[in-house]
Chain A
Amino acid sequence: MTMRRKIYMTAGYNTVSLGTGRKEFNPKKPRPGIEHYLNEAGNATLKKTGGPKNVDEGVVGNFMAARYNKQGHLGAFMPMIDEGLRYKPSLSVEAACASGGMSLLTGMKSILAETADSVLSLGVEVQNSVKAVYGADILAGAGWYQKRKSGHAHFFPGQFSDRAGAYFKKFGRDQTRRAFARWYHNAIENAKLCPTAQEYENTDMNPQATALNTEPSPKMFTPHLTPLESSKVSDGASAIAILSEEGLEKTGISKDQAVEIAGYGHAVEDVTQDPEEPTRLDTMKSAIDKAFESAGITKDDLATVEIHDCFAIAAVLGVEALGLAPHGKGADYILEGKTARDGELPFNTTGGLIGWGHPTGATGVHMAVTLWEQLTGNAGEAQISIPSDRPYGMSINMGGDDKTVMAIVYKKAE
């Protein structure tokens, strides 16, 4: 899959990821709804790109507003953001936690198909409308409903706990749990550098020790994963402009403030099937391989990765899916500090799903915004240096238990 037309992304914006950890979050008080988040993120991006006249179409990634907020038809919220968007095409897309990735993909496809020169891509989710115990029911929709009855109370934590348990058994529990703790440490360390992150105000001086001293509780949560090793329940939205060469010119934004999409890979696996091998993320690997091929690069060309660490075990398996470590050695790779912000290949530089937050439908777009910030030098305190000999960033956005994966390769536009 070669890119028959250049695609740029720019003018990204993330709202705060609101939920436990943020000082302004109070579960007992009313909070903003999806309208607020769509408005904030949408308007921020519009402002930078010159307003609605520079938007040909809109797309909203969202997973389960229909249940979290009793709200469907999110595409039709686009003109609410700015009335200049009235009568322009807009739609919503869904692929569980990869809905944000699908929002990006839909925009990219419109550019590639030459049906649009500029797409406003949004992702949004407001999850704190229900307690986590009921949110687990909603999120379980990312799996096959026929399996819900036999599944864990915390359905997805349960699925990935099974994967963690299998990995423990095959490759050793202690070493893997130490890697989880290191991963958590990096997530918090990075989140503390990003003012919109849910864990921005975390005061733990030694998150690694905290995570190591927290044992999984099968009765309260899952047998092999602790809440610290899980992504958060979050409210938030992200927005980014997806543009053709012509579309970028119209906005007046200079190329060095944009990223170019070097390639992407999209892969889907049968949602009714259990994973073939619980210690591997095969669909993720397929999407990554496609993305590398499409961009004509290898793992050695990457400067940074945004990976879908909905659970720490997904990060370990993701490192292996990327080919950075052989099967069973992903934990070592993390433990050696290679994924830390000062490591060989910094991952999730603003905290990822565990540290920044995981407003499910927004996450894919949030990853794109983070990479756009890093590659164009707009990441503020969280900025890492991008080596000139390996200038690429990659986002890997996963829906369900390795069922839909969207991987995108970015580099600074020239």
Chain B
Amino acid sequence: MNYSERLQNVAVLGAAGKMGSGILLLTALEMVNLKLKPENRDKTYVLHAVDVSYENLDSLLKYIREQAVKKAEKNIVPLRQAYAGREDLVENQHIIQQYVRDVVDVIKPTIRLDQASEASLVFEAVNEDPDLKVKLYKQIDQNSSQKIWYFTNTSSVPIGRLNEEANLEGRIIGFHFYNPPAVQKLVEMIPAEKTLPDLKNFADSYASALKKVVVYAKDVAGFIGNGHLMRDALFGIAEAERLSKEKELPRAIYQVDKVTRDFMIRPMGIFQLIDYVGIDVVRFILGVMNPYFKDENLHSDLLDKLYDKGVTGGQHPGGAQKDGFLKYEKGRPVGAFDPDKNDYVMYDNISHQEDDELGDLPKGWMPWKKMIKKKTRKDELKDYFAALRQLDTKGSELAIRFGKNSKNIGEKLVSQGVAQSSKDVNTVLTTGFFHAYGPVNSYFD
């Protein structure tokens, strides 16, 4: 079975989810891309969109249509060539409409898992629950006469474990998209020890067809992305707890979030990032990872405490940020949670005092949004962090502690062999997390 044949019958599990819908879109676009090639015109391409309810699937096709229109509008020049043989399609609008129909036509929405057994390739993007994943693979395999290949979008579960428990004999690979898959260029690729060489080659071809930036990670729980993020998050929580010995926790949270966003020129403060990922998700991933690291305790009582109170972060169905460690108005943090009072302390009441304590931002500071657009970013960052190191303020002290810890995490990922190089670690953070600089640097030394 060659590349194109393998993609003739595909299933996406969890197709209506945040990640699944993006994977479905990219795969549908790639399938139509293949179908439009002269040698494939007569072939049928089928993409099973499997999810648990019709309600979920309902809005999925709307998303696919909107995205396909955008894609077609952007690619109208090559698309006109692809449809050159269709005399009935004359204007750009005709071609765009036809392309969208072609994309939607390959997708077969279903709530029946056994549909996936028809596929020769299954993308799994269900909840980060190893047992659920194994159960699904087994069930699909049971109903299939062929040896299905599995791509899992897991961001933390070791692929080898899934392979063993589901008896897949190497028919699985970790293919971790970043959110949202249609926009984010990064893919973390995790072959298990036993992953079939042909499957690896196919995964490479697929990633390159999708024009993704691929970073290979060793099959260690959390891989590179979560390997860094989870430890970075735990350090942020520990820092806030440490500071809270001298001040109320919401004030400490405010300080750490501000330092990690502004002083460190990151897209979000660490608490906002935890909320964005979801306190429930972070907690769950830590739970998946923790058993694999005997010398570390990847766990936070504070996360448990918030989770038990139903403070979860994550997003509302429309995409708006839910409250978590922080309270949000129009997507911006406006308060920090006080677990003792079960309420948020508003920034308006505390920011002045806490900002004074942190001190001014160093010379050469600019917001992350501006920094990432700078062509001279390297020099600007070098000067900025040199100025930061010169300052004798609490803000700079906290930033240096955080920067050093982030670097330690990165270096450890390399020394453990999870990442092949510090460059790979930096690529994951700059591409997958949009950081302006990688964690392995000399800015904080």
Contact = CB atoms under 8 A, between A and B. Distances in A.
Interface stretch (B73-81, B285-293, B304-312): B73-81
Contacts of B78: 219
B91 A148 contact: yes
B92 A137 contact: yes
A205 interface: no
Interface string A113-145: 000000000000000000101101100100001
Interface in B78-102: 78-80, 87, 90-93, 96
A220 B92 contact: no
A133 B76 contact: yes
A133 B91 contact: no
A148 B73 CA distance: 17
Contact of A134 (B79, B87, B90, B93): B93
A137 B73 contact: no
B80 A131 contact: no
Interface in A144-172: 145, 148-149, 152-154
A27 interface: no
A153 B76 contact: yes
Nearest to A136: B92
B77 A218 contact: yes
A257 to B, nearest CB: 46
Contacts, number: 31
A219 B91 contact: no
A349 B202 CA distance: 59
Give the residue among B76, B78, B87 with the most A Cβ atoms within 10 A: B76
Contact of B93 (A137, A145, A154, A218): A137
B90 A153 contact: no
Interface in A214-243: 218-221
A219 B77 contact: yes
Nearest to A150: B84
Interface string B40-81: 000000000000000000000000000000000100111110
- Describe A's contact surface by its main secondary structure: loop
Nearest to A158: B77
A133 B76 CA distance: 8
B69 to A, nearest CB: 10
B77 A220 contact: yes
Contact of B91 (A140, A152, A154, A218): A140
A153 B87 contact: no
A133 B96 contact: yes
A218 to B, nearest CB: 7
Contacts of A131: 73
A219 B73 CA distance: 12
Contacts of B96: 133
B33 to A, nearest CB: 14
B211 to A, nearest CB: 13
Give the residue among A137, A145, A149, A218 with the most B Cβ atoms within 10 A: A149
Contacts of A152: 77, 80
Contact of A149 (B73, B79, B90, B93): B90
Given A133-B92, A137-B93, A148-B91, A153 B73 contact: no
Contacts of B73: 131, 133
Interface string B156-197: 000000000000000000000000000000000000000000
Contacts of B77: 152-154, 218-221
Give the residue among A137, A219, A221 with the most B Cβ atoms within 10 A: A137
Contacts of B76: 133, 153-154
Contacts of A218: 77
A149 B90 CA distance: 5
Contacts of B87: 149
Nearest to B73: A133
A218 B78 CA distance: 9
Contacts of A145: 90
Give the residue among B76, B91, B93, B96 with the most A Cβ atoms within 10 A: B91
Nearest to A223: B77
A298 B93 CA distance: 46
B373 to A, nearest CB: 15
Contact of B80 (A134, A153, A221): A153
A148 B93 contact: no
Contacts of A219: 77-78
Nearest to A219: B77
Interface in A303-337: none
Contacts of B93: 134, 137
Nearest to B72: A133
Contacts of A136: 92
Nearest to B88: A149
A145 B96 CA distance: 18
Contacts of B91: 137, 140, 148
Contacts of A149: 87, 90
B315 to A, nearest CB: 22
A213 to B, nearest CB: 13
Interface in A174-193: none
A153 B93 CA distance: 10
A136 B90 CA distance: 12
Interface in B296-332: none
A135 to B, nearest CB: 9
Contacts of B80: 152-153
A69 to B, nearest CB: 16
Contacts of B92: 133-134, 136-137, 153
Nearest to A135: B92
Nearest to B78: A219
A407 to B, nearest CB: 32
Contacts of B79: 153
Given A133-B73, A133-B92, A153-B76, 16 more contacts: A131-B73, A133-B96, A134-B92, A136-B92, A137-B91, A137-B92, A145-B90, A148-B90, A149-B87, A149-B90, A152-B77, A153-B80, A154-B76, A154-B77, A220-B77, A221-B77
17 contacts: A131-B73, A133-B73, A133-B76, A134-B92, A134-B93, A136-B92, A137-B93, A140-B91, A145-B90, A149-B90, A152-B80, A153-B76, A153-B77, A218-B77, A219-B78, A220-B77, A221-B77
Interface of A: 131, 133-134, 136-137, 140, 145, 148-149, 152-154, 218-221
Those 8 A-B pairs whose CB atoms lie nearest each other, nearest first: A137-B91, A153-B76, A153-B80, A153-B77, A133-B73, A149-B90, A137-B92, A148-B90
